[in-house]
Structure 1
Amino acid sequence: MTRIPPVAPEDASFAVRLAYRAAAKMVGEVPEPFAVFAHHPKLFFTSLTQEFAAGKASTTLPVSVRELAVYRVAWTLGCSWCVDFGTMMQRLDGLDVDRLKDIGEYETSTKYSDDERAAIAYADAMTQSPDVVTDEQVADLERRFGRAGVVELTYQIGLENMRARINSSLGITEQGFSSGDACRVPWASSTPV
């Protein structure tokens, strides 16, 4: 149960209901963070805009590198919603989700490439508080992915740190995106979106 209840469609503004429908069409259910954010419509639409724009703009890195770094942040911070959603996104991107079981041993697992390991290590360094990113680490990433790739990776890791911390703080947990289970949003079984 979230610490702040989700806004049900019948209690949402027309614009928020439209966003709910679009989100449900894209991922099969209304993401619970959206439904909680709907209590503050300006931040709801700010968040939607940021997510959409970041997704469209993030095309420099290989998808597996970006998605694994983001997943590692969610896993490290313990955001079950982000882990659930991230697993689904990797599956939809055609990536091998079985290797996510080895994310805790990424340094030695043969399931990850050197580029993926470097990105995951960077995610770890950025997620610590304070961060422990080194000049050498950034230089290595720049050799691998170019400057735009480093900026994209940094942005995506920072964005996931924000998402995971918000979701965990608000008590937002997994919805079953990765397993195909029914959504936990309270109105999912009773009211069409």
Structure 2
Amino acid sequence: MSTSRIPALAPNDAGLLTRVMYWFARRKMGEVPEPLAVSGYHTGILVSSGVHELMVERVSKKLPANIREIAVYRTAWTVGCSWCVDFGTMLQRLDGLDIDRLQHIDEYQTSPHYTDDERAAIAYADAMTATPMTVTDEQVADLERRFGRPGVIELTYQIGLENSRARNNHALGITAQGFSTDSCRVPWA
């Protein structure tokens, strides 16, 4: 059962455009993500967010998937968004990445489960997610050597976007939906 502070909008209560987006999400992911179903109360935010997510997904090709996904996962983990951690685990599994290593994310600096490039991306996610931010010139220069300027821009954008997603979901009380275990609960059940 959902624990969100605002309940998911049931398909029967949704307008035509929202129902179409539910259909599209169900077709793409097997279930309607709860953040989408909660956003259904504001069609403009729902549509703009959906278009934005699709566009960002389509253009995020400068970084290797393992770098992008581990930085996004660490951001969600740091903010404390169980929904994002759940969904991020599924994305890594679908990308063929080792999800068992995620249980070692807290010790990434010394864990043999992470490469030097992944450690640099995780440290950057930590620095960007800290309040106030602790990003340094040296850190960005190191990332530029590793991933090039387009890679740094993509990494920065992805971490910033995940901060937004995770903070929105956390504030609304949206919690893990079961994507990482293939046992999704239906938001309006």
The two structures share one fold, judged by TM-score above 0.5: yes
Q: % of aligned pairs identical?
A: 61
Question: Deviations for 1:83-117, whole angstroms, at most 9, x for unmatched residues?
Answer: 00000000001100000011000000101110000
Instruction: Find the partner of 2:184 among 167, 182, 188.
Output: 182
Whether the 8 Å CA contact 2:9–2:188 is kept in 1: the answer is: no
In 2, distance between residues paired with 1:49 and 1:117? 31
Deviation at 1:184, TM superposition (A): 4.2
Map of 1:39 onto structure 2: 41
Instruction: Find the partner of 2:19 among 8, 17, 20.
Output: 17
| Count of matched residue pairs | 187
In 2, distance between residues paired with 1:144 and 1:30? 36
Map of 1:144 onto structure 2: 146
Deviation at 1:152, TM superposition (A): 0.1
Map of 2:57 onto structure 1: 55
Map of 2:158 onto structure 1: 156
Query: Does 1:91 pair with 2:93?
Result: yes
Deviation at 1:130, TM superposition (A): 1.0
TM-score, length-normalised on structure 1? 0.95
Whether the 8 Å CA contact 2:4–2:174 is kept in 1: the answer is: yes
Question: Deviations for 1:13-37, whole angstroms, at most 9, x for unmatched residues?
Answer: 1111111011111111100000000
Q: Moved runs in structure 1, 4+ residues, more than 4 A? A: none
Whichever residue aligns with residue 91 of structure 2, its letter is: M
TM-score, length-normalised on structure 2? 0.97
In 2, distance between residues paired with 1:66 and 1:112? 13
Query: Does 1:132 pair with 2:134?
Result: yes
In 2, distance between residues paired with 1:179 and 1:56? 25
Query: Does 1:117 pair with 2:101?
Result: no
In 1, distance between residues paired with 2:95 and 2:7? 31
Secondary structure at the counterpart of residue 181 of structure 2 = coil
The gaps in structure 1 that reach 5 residues or longer are 188-193
In 2, distance between residues paired with 1:111 and 1:85? 21
Deviation at 1:182, TM superposition (A): 3.4
The gaps in structure 2 that reach 5 residues or longer are none
Deviation at 1:127, TM superposition (A): 0.1
